[in-house]
């Protein structure tokens, strides 16, 4: 039992997820998920903006097996700040089946970076979502991007759609100065009530077209959707309003997309998704076996397990 008290209104992750009807291709990677604590073993960071429920590595690996994934990419959650122990411990105990994305400060030593690498870390996350983190200056981020380049790591960037214009130069600098790949979380969080061919999403697509180093996770329909999880009839997807956005990204950038469950789904207060239903969302956005293989196997393997590809 951890001594931490959950943020009021916080929903626990979905126990007993359904068995997906969509059969994942062999070797599929859940490329965006987290562990929380457990708080008694890995305390949450003092500077955190929320206190989650516990979500251990054993529970994550059980979900992986239940859904039919082969591997995980565990992304450092902001509730752990730059203390990467829970995430690194999960990677180190995965039998080589999990890689990680850390949060680091500029003050991190080369030795600490090497230790994270040995545990399985292959990237760092830059977070611009104001409700989740305090501000970090761009020159510090760029410095970190340069430091991780020799390790063959990449950068994961999380921002809201309104922040995109301000991040244009950073993405270019990450590419031109640091020479590393930048993966955007959740398609830059588009407002899906706006048209998929409207100016806001066009800007995101242009961002990807102009920056050959930028990848996107086509994840988190449950965060983006206004329609919600209810399918109107059997053939229609849950979270159907997100489908055209994710399809556009997958079809235009098939070699630069990733997918993940986002388990245990931080900060959801209205609706907690059934992870089995999330897997069933995949064939609605990656509509051919070839696209599914790229999204779920070939792309994440290239980024996180390049030595095996
Ligand atoms: C996500 C999204 C969120 C949170 C975090 O690290 C985090 O706390 O990533 C969010 O609240 O939108 O990708 O899990």
Q: How far is the CA of 266 from the centre of ligand 1 (A)?
A: 5
> pLDDT averaged over the chain?
95
Closest protein CA for atom 9 of ligand 1: 77
pLDDT at residue 27 in the model: 98
pTM (predicted TM-score): 0.97
CA 302 / ligand 1 centre spacing (Å): 24
What does the pLDDT look like over 9-47, one tens digit per residue? 999 999 999 999 999 999 999 999 999 999 999 999 999
Which one, of 87, 82, 92, 6, lies nearest residue 50 by Cα? 6
| Mean pLDDT value across residues 104-128 | 97
Name the residue among 153, 213, 156 with its Cα closest to residue 186.
Answer: 156
pLDDT tens across 224-262, in order?
999 998 876 566 788 999 999 999 999 999 999 999 999
Task: Kindly name the residue from 30, 54, 185, 262 that is annotated as catalytic.
Answer: 262
Q: Which atom of ligand 1 is nearest to the CA of 77?
A: 6
Q: For 199-229, how does the pLDDT look when each residue is reduced to its tens digit (9 = 90+)?
A: 999 999 999 999 999 999 999 999 999 999 8
Q: Locate the ligand 1 atom nearest the alpha carbon of residue 79 and give its number.
A: 8
Q: How far apart are CA 54 and CA 1, in angstroms?
A: 9
Q: Is 262 among the residues known to form the active site?
A: yes
Residue 225 region by backbone torsions, left for phi larger than 0, else alpha for psi between -120 and 50, else beta: beta
CA distances from 52 to 56, 286, 306 (A): 12, 31, 33
Q: What is the pLDDT of residues 154-185, one digit of tens each?
A: 999 999 999 999 999 888 888 888 899 999 99
Tell me if residue 138 falls in helix, strand or coil: helix
Handedness of CA 145, 148, 153, 156 (dihedral sign): negative
Best residue among 78, 81, 263 to mutate for probing ligand 1, ranked by most atoms within 8 Å of CB = 78
Q: How many CB atoms lie within 10 A of CB 129?
A: 15
């Amino acid at each position: 039992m951890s001594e931490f008290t959950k943020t009021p209104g916080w929903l626990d992750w979905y126990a007993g997820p359904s068995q997906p009807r969509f059969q994942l291709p062999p070797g599929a990677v859940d490329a965006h998920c987290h562990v929380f604590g457990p708080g008694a073993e890995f305390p949450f960071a003092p500077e955190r903006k929320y206190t989650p429920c516990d979500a251990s590595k054993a529970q994550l690996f059980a979900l992986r097996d239940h859904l039919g994934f082969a591997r995980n990419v565990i992304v450092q959650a902001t509730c752990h700040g730059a203390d990467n122990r829970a995430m690194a411990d999960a990677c180190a105990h995965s039998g080589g089946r999990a890689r990680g994305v850390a949060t680091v400060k500029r003050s991190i030593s080369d030795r600490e970076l090497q230790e994270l690498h040995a545990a399985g870390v292959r990237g760092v996350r830059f977070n611009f979502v104001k409700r989740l983190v305090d501000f970090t200056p761009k020159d510090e981020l760029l410095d970190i991007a340069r430091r991780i380049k020799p390790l063959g790591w990449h950068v994961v960037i999380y921002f809201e759609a309104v922040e995109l214009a301000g991040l244009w130069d950073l993405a270019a600098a990450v590419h031109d100065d640091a020479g590393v790949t930048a993966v955007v979380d959740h398609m830059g969080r588009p407002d899906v009530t706006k048209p998929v061919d409207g100016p806001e999403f066009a800007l995101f697509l242009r961002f990807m077209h102009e920056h050959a180093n930028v990848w996107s996770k086509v994840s988190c329909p449950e965060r983006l959707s206004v329609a919600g999880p209810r399918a109107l009839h059997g053939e229609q997807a849950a979270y159907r309003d997100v489908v055209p956005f994710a399809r556009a990204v997958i079809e235009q950038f098939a070699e630069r997309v990733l997918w993940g469950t986002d388990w245990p789904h931080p900060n959801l207060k209205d609706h907690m998704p059934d992870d089995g239903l999330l897997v069933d969302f995949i064939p609605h956005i990656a509509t051919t076996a070839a696209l599914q293989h790229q999204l779920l196997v070939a792309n994440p393997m290239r980024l996180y397990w390049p030595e095996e590809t």
